[in-house]
Amino acid sequence: MNLKSLIFVFFILVFSFSVFAEPLSVEFSKNNYFFGETVQGKIFLDDSVDDELKSNDFHISLNDSITNIYPSLIELDEYIYFYFNVPYLSEEGIYDFVVEDLIYEEFGILKEEDQIFNLNFNQASSAVLSISPAFIQLNINENNRFNIEFDNPSSSDAVVDISLLDNFIFSAEDNFLVRSGKVKIVEFYVSPLLTNKNETNIDINYGSLSYFIPVLVEGLVEESESEENVSSEINETEDVEEQGNIVFLQKGFNISIGTNQAESGFVKIVNEFNQSIEIEVILSENLESIIDLEFEKKMFNNFESKKNYIYVNENKNVESGVYEGSLSLSYNDSVYDTIPFIISVFEEEVEDNNTIPPKERPDIEDEKPRDKKFDILIGILIFVLILGFAIFLKYKKEEKRN
């Protein structure tokens, strides 16, 4: 076969591939899911598609039984990311994942057809978590905080471990318990000062199951622009190491407790300075009577995060009322971050069921009278005895006369 023939065959193959390529392709994070789990995936649309996907264009089906799923959709670049929670279905098995009535062009003619893929759904024998959102998209210049919600619809508790693959993203909690039937919300923070790439990931593991959550970051300064800013800062500032920030990962607290109750928790603090510094944690005066801190000053390494435990009403001696104040982070007499605290303390009703009333000395007048029925019975008995004795005497006298 000569060169021209090879080139001709090559173009025929390429043309055939382009003609018979599917208009829509789906990539799932995995193919087997349990009821209650969150399905993650991304969709690629071919240029032939003349349609806009919407949440109500999707369903799953088994044996002609259709279940609507309404996935969340995030469009980014050439992909559409999606996720949805697997319903608690009446039957296990391999289900059709259907994109309904997709309009696309083939040989110059518009066609409308369902696009069908397969997923396997089963009942789990251990804890299962649903997560939301399962994809994170944020603009670092507008909002650098987000929450992930962990919902446990199963009958078992789940212990969750979070792993962060880059040092510019932080979680308020790295290890926690989600009880059966409960929801846990965890806060995350992406440092604008430390972020150096457009994508990172969050690994979530519990039991034998896991999630891999992409975090897509927008609004980063281009590398050349960043270098110009750094050089200008060097020229304008003698001490470049002082450029940085200190932040709380939590946004604030609203607590309600009784006067005889105590609560504890923690705040997580992040040092965004590229140096070790001593951070001071300042509690407003109106909270000093009800809150104790694990530490008020502590050294932090560069880019390090630490927990500071908080104890509320530890001595169980505060008065009822509303205590409002704040917690602040300070370094070199400058305050970098402040979060609010609202603590509502309510008076508890104490019911002492074991209290014994004081024993009083009874007076004679207060003595409990005897039962009247008993007295009547005694009287009748005495009367019968007297009557019997009188009859006996009378009988004896008549006997002597005779």
- 107 and 14 within one domain: yes
Q: What does pLDDT average to over the chain?
A: 82
Q: What is the pLDDT of residue 27?
A: 94
CATH number at residue 215: 2.60.40.10
Cα 90 from Cα 93, distance rounded (Å): 10
CB 279 within 8 A of CB 294: no
Task: Answer yes or no: is 72 within a domain.
Answer: yes
- 137 and 99 within one domain: no
Q: What is the pLDDT of residue 101?
A: 86
CB 120 within 8 A of CB 168: no
Region 300-318: what's the mean pLDDT? 92
CATH number at residue 76: 2.60.40.1930
Task: Answer yes or no: is 233 within a domain.
Answer: no
- 3 SS3 class: helix
- Residue type present at position 381: L
Classify residue 219 as left (phi > 0), alpha (psi -120 to 50) or beta: left
- 188 and 158 within one domain: yes
Cis amide linkage into residue 133, ω under 30° from 0: yes
- 264 and 174 within one domain: no
Task: Answer yes or no: is 215 within a domain.
Answer: yes
Q: What is the pLDDT of residue 322?
A: 93
- 102 and 180 within one domain: no
Q: Which of 16-25, 351-360, 365-374 has the largest mean confidence?
A: 16-25
Q: Kindly report which listed range (14-18, 35-39, 117-121, 292-296) carries the lowest average pLDDT score.
A: 14-18
Task: Answer yes or no: is 39 within a domain.
Answer: yes
Region 234-239: what's the mean pLDDT? 44
Q: What is the pLDDT of residues 244-274, one digit of tens each?
A: 899 999 888 889 999 999 999 999 999 999 9
Instruction: Compute the Cα dihedral for 86, 88, 94, 99 and give only its sign.
Output: negative
CB 326 within 8 A of CB 339: yes
Q: What is the pLDDT of residue 251?
A: 85
Task: Answer yes or no: is 377 within a domain.
Answer: no
Q: Classify each residue of 296-327 as buried b or exposed e, where b means 16 or more C-beta atoms within 10 Å of its C-beta.
A: eeeebeebbbbebebbbbeeeebeeeebebeb
- 20 and 119 within one domain: yes
Point out the domain boundary residue: 346, 368, 394.
Answer: 346
- 130 and 115 within one domain: no
CB 42 within 8 A of CB 134: no
Task: Answer yes or no: is 11 within a domain.
Answer: yes
Task: Answer yes or no: is 388 within a domain.
Answer: no
- 143 and 108 within one domain: no
Domain span at 287: 244-346
Residue found under tokens 């025929």: 12
Q: Kindly report which listed range (133-147, 166-180, 377-391) carries the lowest average pLDDT score.
A: 377-391
Residue 370, pLDDT above cutoff 70: no
| β pairing state of 32-34 and 109-122 | parallel
Grade residue 362 by pLDDT with cuts at 50, 70 and 90: very low
Task: Answer yes or no: is 320 within a domain.
Answer: yes
- 88 and 24 within one domain: yes
- 131 and 79 within one domain: no
Grade residue 24 by pLDDT with cuts at 50, 70 and 90: confident
- 183 and 148 within one domain: yes
- 50 and 16 within one domain: yes
- How many domains would you assign to the chain? 3
Closest by CA to 248, choosing from 144, 392, 127, 151, is 144
Residue predicted with more confidence, 108 or 112? 112
Residue 277, pLDDT above cutoff 90: yes
Kind plus residue range of the DSSP H or E element containing 381: helix 372-401
Cis amide linkage into residue 153, ω under 30° from 0: no
Point out the domain boundary residue: 55, 89, 123.
Answer: 123
Point out the domain boundary residue: 77, 99, 123.
Answer: 123
